[in-house]
Amino acid sequence: MDKPCRCMMNRRSFLQAAGGTLACLSLIPLTESMSHAGPISRTPIFPKSRAKVGLVFCHVPSGNATWPTKDYDYDGRAKELTSKLTAACPQVDFTVRTAHNAAEADAIVEELPDVDGFLVYAIGIWSRAPDRIMRCGKPVVLVDDLYAGSGEILIVSGAARREKLPVAVVSSSDIRDVADAANLFTVIRSMKESRILDVVDYDITAPTGKIKEILGSTVIKMGADEIASYYAKADEKEAAEWADMWISQAKKVVEPSREELIKSGRMYMALSKACADKRADAVSMDCLGMFYTGRVTAYPCLSFFQFNNDGGTGVCEGDLASTCTQLIMRYMTGRPGFVSDPVIDTSKDEIIYAHCVCSNRMFGPKGKANPYIIRSHAEDRQGASVQSLMPVNEPVTTLELDVWSKKIVLHTGKTTRNVDEAKACRTKLAAKTNAQAILDNWSMGWHRVTVFGDWRRQVINLARLYGMTVFEEDKPA
């Protein structure tokens, strides 16, 4: 059972010291992941605005002999659905409108230029409004209220796919499926407001521009000298508290000394302060290049372990594609991603996700913690990293996003075991999947991001709202 947190100050004192609402929203939930003797989390979490969505109910006027029926109570149905969606989408502000025809649909689009997108609910048929709104240039979710808008939604959804419009379609009797799609607008809004700190010494101008164009996120560069300056200013006493907390919560420590873990604590404090100063929602770092050349003297593996445990986003190797992927999935699921270098074993029909950075709270900061072992970094047997022994018999979704091709590769599986193998990275999680198909279909680099849970449909819908294509690499070619 997880131990309760003993914070270093009471809640009222914390709020006074931290400056009120923002700090409260940002940090209070994160202390739940700490041990009773642990220091207060420094992982910065910045709240995002609520998504703004135009909720448009489409139908011809009552009295027409058509689906769902001639004298249908459209107003009553719209009020019922609005109430359900409002309850199921607490981070979405809906502006409700009705369109009986194409002209009214055009007027609604013109009236609501600042929404993040539209949810078009066909509670009747043949209004022509869905076809008009889905061409507005913003992300659109089309919803069929079954036995009401079915024919029109089926026809226009086919046109949306052929024309590659940013449109997702829901046709379900379960309002939760509609809410899942509507909540994707919060992911889009959060990515627009996000800032990513990339600690690298090489030029990142081209990818940062593309990320801004496609996702709306801002990438900030920081060099080795600047992060080394943050590291030099980190308090060694507090760094030792972090080291001792990690040691106390670990199943065991194998190679690293306490002194090495204190260095990891200083790196965590350095990256936390850098993220706070830059108001960054995620951080990645060219860890291998900087450590191998002596530009930094501590790996960030335990830093990213802590970031991801606390509900933040820390990603290794200065990998912006994986950072964007993991950040998107954090906003979608509330869970951390596991960036890995996968290995495929077709004899067991398994894929093994291997890396030296991983959370041990794969179901989110309030979720159950799994055991972990503190190890050295695998390739050079230096520094400190984490071997996370993750839950088995759990569904997982693995993906990677590429802003250049506007493409997402995706597969799912079920975890089978934690692999004990001296070679390669420390954490190795195996999952049952269609290994041969993935091998035959592999593209887009080596890294993949794995998140616990089956999120295939939500990923596909989000990709469509972004105007991206999805390649399901676990399906036979």
The yes-or-no verdict on residue 10 having pLDDT over 90 is no
Contact between 447 and 323 (Cβ < 8 Å): no
d(CA 475, CA 444) in angstroms, rounded, equals 16
pLDDT score of 3: 34
The yes-or-no verdict on residue 17 having pLDDT over 50 is no
d(CA 359, CA 302) in angstroms, rounded, equals 9
pLDDT, mean of residues 49-56: 98
Whether omega before 68 lies within 30 degrees of 0, making that bond cis, reads yes
pLDDT averaged over every residue in the chain: 91
pLDDT, mean of residues 418-442: 95
In the chain, the percentage of residues whose pLDDT exceeds 90 is: 86
pLDDT score of 291: 87
Q: Residues, the chain, total?
A: 477
pLDDT score of 24: 31
The yes-or-no verdict on residue 81 having pLDDT over 90 is yes
| pLDDT digit string, tens, across residues 268-317 | 999 999 999 999 999 999 888 888 999 999 999 999 999 999 999 999 98
The yes-or-no verdict on residue 29 having pLDDT over 80 is no
pLDDT score of 204: 84
Q: Which residue has the tokens 């050349």?
A: 293
pLDDT, mean of residues 212-218: 97
- The closest alpha carbon to 211, from 471, 469, 466, belongs to 466
The yes-or-no verdict on residue 203 having pLDDT over 80 is yes
| pLDDT digit string, tens, across residues 101-147 | 999 999 999 999 999 999 999 999 999 999 999 999 999 999 999 99
The amino acid occupying position 414 is K
| Chain-centroid distance, C-alpha 12 | 31
| pLDDT digit string, tens, across residues 438-453 | 999 999 999 999 999 9
Q: Is 138 helix (H, G, I), strand (E, B) or coil?
A: coil
Torsion, Cα of 466, 471, 475, 477 (10° steps): 150
Strand segments, DSSP code E, in 389-426 are: 395-402, 407-418
pLDDT score of 206: 83
Q: How many Cβ atoms are within 10 Å of 112's Cβ, its own excluded?
A: 18
Global pTM reads: 0.91
Write the DSSP assignment of 144-189 as a string of letters.
Answer: E-TTTSHHHHHHHHHHHHHTT-SEEEE--S-HHHHHHHHTHHHHHH
The yes-or-no verdict on residue 336 having pLDDT over 90 is yes
User: Which uninterrupted H or E stretch holds 83?
Assistant: helix 74-88
Q: Residue 378's pLDDT band (boundaries 50, 70, 90)?
A: confident
Contact between 332 and 458 (Cβ < 8 Å): yes
| pLDDT digit string, tens, across residues 391-403 | 999 999 999 999 9
pLDDT score of 454: 98
pLDDT score of 391: 97
Who has greater pLDDT, 31 or 406?
Answer: 406
The yes-or-no verdict on residue 190 having pLDDT over 60 is yes
Paired with 169 in beta bridges are 142
pLDDT, mean of residues 5-12: 30
Q: Work out whether the CA dihedral 366, 371, 376, 377 comes out positive or negative.
A: negative
| pLDDT digit string, tens, across residues 219-236 | 999 999 999 999 999 999
Q: Which residue has the tokens 């979704």?
A: 397
If you compute the radius of gyration of the chain from its CA atoms, what whole number of angstroms results?
A: 24
- The closest alpha carbon to 228, from 209, 255, 253, 201, belongs to 201
User: What's the CA angle centered on 121, arms 120 and 124, to 5 degrees?
Assistant: 125
pLDDT, mean of residues 85-112: 98
The yes-or-no verdict on residue 367 having pLDDT over 50 is yes
d(CA 143, CA 119) in angstroms, rounded, equals 7
Domains of the chain: 51-188 (3.40.50.10940), 193-472 (3.20.14)
The yes-or-no verdict on residue 32 having pLDDT over 70 is no
pLDDT score of 22: 30
d(CA 74, CA 78) in angstroms, rounded, equals 6
Where would I find the H helices in 279-339? 287-292, 301-309, 320-333
pLDDT score of 37: 54
